[in-house]
Amino acid sequence: MTRRQLIRRISYASLGLSTPLWLSGCAIDPITGKPTLMLLSREDEIAIDRQQTPHQFSADYGITTDAALNRYVAELGGSISSLSHRADMPYNFQVVNANYVNAYAFPGGSIAVTRGILLELQNEAELAALLGHEIGHVTARHAGARMTQGMLAQAAVGTAVAGLGESTLGGAVGMVGQIGAGALLARYSRDNERQADQLGTDYMALANQNPEGMVGLMNMLRSLSDRKPNAIELMFSSHPMSDERYRNVQQQVSGFSANQRGRDVGRERYMDQTARLRAMKPAIEAMQEGERLLAQRNPQQAEARLLEAVRLAPNDYTGLMLAGKFYLVQDKDQEALRYFDRARQAMPGEGQAMQYRGLAHLGLERYDRALADFLAYEEVLPGNPGTDFLVGYSYEKSGSRQNAAQRYQAFLQKVQRGDQAEYAYARLKEWGYV
């Protein structure tokens, strides 16, 4: 593998954050009040949440710098979550700078909405429906239930390979146990979605929001699948939509009183609170179009749209990062570095710019600078095994073999498969460490 190929593969490496296995046995379902098998306690859910959310928020280009908008969403979310079945969870609501259309919840109560979906909503009732739905996932413990199923499967794998010897056992179970930030946002089942819709509608109505907002939210998402399929793809992969789900919501909402369904949907208030974001709509749509064109392997037109976005919003962190990433995959490292530098100036504490600036420095063979960037990233976002590899590689290329070996060993304790694991193991073997 050439240096360029290795760096490119590193650029696409996903987070490999390991999650420890806590065994808590049966729990009481907060919705039904009945015992249910749950291997995660409330404290476990919160611990996982706090470990994973910083990485996911960073992957989504950080939390908005529009403090008023973030406060509005947080206050609305808090008014709904306080009336839920798990009002005692430490909920926090954030607007993240991603352009795609989505919202998601972590098991401990961290909930994020993208600026992409806020641009598509038309009123406060629809936002309340969106937040209520995500709160429903938390109260029904859907992520915890999925992780419990994964742990039981892991235990079965451990039993099945118990007779294969220690090294094989360690490799098999170790790999099954790797759960990254994206895994916690993976697909919910249709039953999960149905329940979250029902709970979210009830919660928002209790908070004096018009339950018709849930129907409006569904109509928007269904329409968007035709207008902007790329922007909605991730949301539908994690939150499957169906005609049945839509009909169920319509039926539930029809059961509310005329007074409840006649409540003000809060359009004027929503438009006032999102005014600064909506002023950026042309730039965000240019970014969305650039990402779509890049996915279709049309780099020339993609570049034009991404640069148009930077022209329209020259200090927008997301736009600068997207332009930098475009040039990085085009092997134009110096140009990429220019945009990553600007992105870091726009949001100095945001980790993704540090990480990608390090990758650009690797491409330019500036290994000392790459090392400084990766160490800065690690300080902001600890717990990413990929950082051990990147730091180790930078040490190796800087001539510090002992430091490189320590980092490669740390990496291999967490990741045992893939190109990077093979590379790290080969170096350790060559240097006499294994």
Do residues 309 and 290 touch, judged by C-beta distance below 8 A?
A: yes
pLDDT of residue 221 exceeding 60, the answer is: yes
Q: Is the pLDDT score of 155 beyond 50?
A: no
Mean pLDDT of 21-31: 49
Of residues 181 and 204, the one with the higher pLDDT is 204
What is d(CA 255, CA 209) in angstroms, rounded to the nearest whole number?
A: 15
Q: Of 162-171, 230-239, 254-263, which gets the smallest average pLDDT?
A: 162-171
Residues above pLDDT 70, as percent of the chain: 78
What backbone phi and psi angles, to 5 degrees, belong to 18?
-80, 145
Residue 66 lies in a domain: yes
User: For residues 78 and 190, which has the higher predicted lDDT (pLDDT)?
Assistant: 78
45 belongs to a structural domain: yes
Q: Quick one: pLDDT at residue 303?
A: 97
Q: What six digits make up the tokens of 225?
A: 């699948």
pLDDT at 129: 98
Give tens-digit pLDDT for 262-301.
999 999 999 999 999 999 999 999 999 999 999 889 999 9
The answer to whether residue 349 is domain-embedded is no
Average pLDDT score, the chain: 85
Which of residues 38 and 433 earns the better pLDDT score?
433
Question: By C-alpha distance, which of 15, 389, 12, 411 is closest to 182?
Answer: 15
Check whether 204 has a pLDDT greater than 70: yes
pLDDT of 39 reads 66
Tell whether 401 is covered by a domain. no
Name the domain count of the chain.
1
| Other residues' Cβ atoms within 10 Å of the Cβ of residue 255 | 10
CA distance 74 to 257: 28
pLDDT tier at 40, thresholds 50, 70, 90: confident
Q: Which of 32-41, 120-129, 173-182, 409-418 has the lowest mean pLDDT?
A: 173-182
Three-class secondary structure assignment of the chain: CCHHHHHHHHHCCCCCCECCCCCCCEEECCCCCCEEECCCCHHHHHHHHHHHHHHHHHHCCCECCCHHHHHHHHHHHHHHHCCCCCCCCCCEEEEECCCCCCEEECCCCEEEEEHHHHHHCCCHHHHHHHHHHHHHHHHCCHHHHHHHHHHHHHHHHHHHCHHHCHHHHHHHHHHHCECCHHHHHCCCCHHHHHHHHHHHHHHHHHCCCCCHHHHHHHHHHHHHHHHCHHHHHHHHHHCCCCHHHHHHHHHHHHCCCHHHHCCCCCHHHHHHHCHHHHHCHHHHHHHHHHHHHHHCCCHHHHHHHHHHHHHHCCCCHHHHHHHHHHHHHCCCHHHHHHHHHHHHHHCCCCHHHHHHHHHHHHHCCCHHHHHHHHHHHHHHCCCCHHHHHHHHHHHHHCCCHHHHHHHHHHHHHHCCCCHHHHHHHHHHHHCCCC
Question: How high is the pLDDT of residue 188?
Answer: 80
324 within some domain: no
Tokens of 398: 């800087």
Which tops the pLDDT comparison, 166 or 229?
229
Specify the range with the lowest mean pLDDT, choosing from 186-200, 310-324, 332-346. Answer: 186-200
pLDDT-derived band at 22, boundaries 50, 70, 90: very low
Residue 62's domain comprises 29-276
The pLDDT score that the predictor gives to residue 223 is: 86
- The whole-number pLDDT of residue 287 equals 97
pLDDT at 149: 56
- Using 50, 70 and 90 to split pLDDT, how confident is the model at 38? low
Please tell me the distance from the alpha carbon of residue 194 to that of residue 198, in angstroms, as a whole number: 6
Quick one: tokens of 434? 């294994």
Query: Within a domain: residue 354?
Result: no
Question: Poorest-confidence range of 154-163, 261-270, 327-336, 398-407?
Answer: 154-163
Structure confidence at residue 191 (pLDDT): 87
Identify the top-confidence range among 11-20, 111-120, 227-236. Answer: 111-120
Mean pLDDT across 32-38 = 58
397 lies in a domain?
A: no
- Residue 288 forms part of a structural domain: no
Q: Looking at residue 171, what is its pLDDT?
A: 30
In angstroms, the CA 293 to CA 303 distance is: 9
